[in-house]
Amino acid sequence: MKSLAGVVVILPAIVVWELVTRRLGDTDFPPPTSIVARMHELWFSGPVARLFLTDEAVANILPSLGRMFAGWFLAAFIGVVAGVALGRSRVAADYVDALIEFGRAVPPPLLLPLFLALFQAGLATQLAAIVSGVIWPVLLNSIDGARNVDRTYTETATVFGLSRPQRLRRIVIPAASPKIFAGLRLSLSLALILMVISEVFGSTDGIGYQLLVAQRSFDTPGVWATIALLGILGYIVNALFVLAERRLLIWHRQANRTP
């Protein structure tokens, strides 16, 4: 029902966009049909054996997704491990609280010049840019989830004599997982954005680089086509993550279901 409502809103908006832009003839705002045609030409006019991906798509989309997921997985690992540890230790959290507040207040794009100076343009700079912005939602949600485990669970673990590793594996992480997954989902969207920004400033391939090339060559339909591609990729990645989250956390919904 929600998807149908979205289609009802989007389709008329696209029709109006098409009619208005064709009427005005503004080259900066091409009609949707021109954008789709340019997308097909740039990315999806390849052979069936390659799922219609062109050489341009293989050379740019796949490396971009590789960087995005590499940065996201690295940030997720660091954020979850550090977040759960800090969430279970109030003393440690108090020591690093000021550092965390300072770090999360710095806009990640502003760190790009620093990373370029440290690592030069390349994969290391791109991963550093992604991790520096993506880690905060994961870290903060992991801290919150691990800190607010129901006391009934921890007291039950004490009664049964569970060791610290057993408590962590059987009690803390499962109880904190809804919060952790919320942070992971938010960070995935940020990873896509930072992937594009890092490629604009320090890459010779990728979706962000192609966006810059289209802008510099005054290929307005190409710019819009790349933006549309990013929107589609973001939607697909988010939908796949939500599907995985529902499968992995089905036990949580069943436990909270009212009898």
> Which residue type, as a one-letter code, is found at position 203?
S
Band of residue 256 on the pLDDT scale cut at 50, 70, 90: low
Using CA atoms, how far apart are residues 129 and 3, in angstroms rounded to an integer? 34
pLDDT tens for 105-116 read 999 888 888 888
Q: What is the pTM of this model?
A: 0.88
Predicted confidence at residue 183, as pLDDT, reads 95
CB within 8 A of 29, min separation 6: which ones?
Answer: 21
pLDDT tens for 73-98 read 999 999 999 999 999 888 888 899 99
Using CA atoms, how far apart are residues 220 and 82, in angstroms rounded to an integer? 44
Using CA atoms, how far apart are residues 219 and 35, in angstroms rounded to an integer? 11
Which domains can be identified in the chain, with CATH numbers? 58-252 (1.10.3720.10)
Overall average pLDDT of the 43-51 stretch: 87
Predicted confidence at residue 209, as pLDDT, reads 92
pLDDT tens for 173-201 read 888 899 999 999 999 999 999 999 998 88
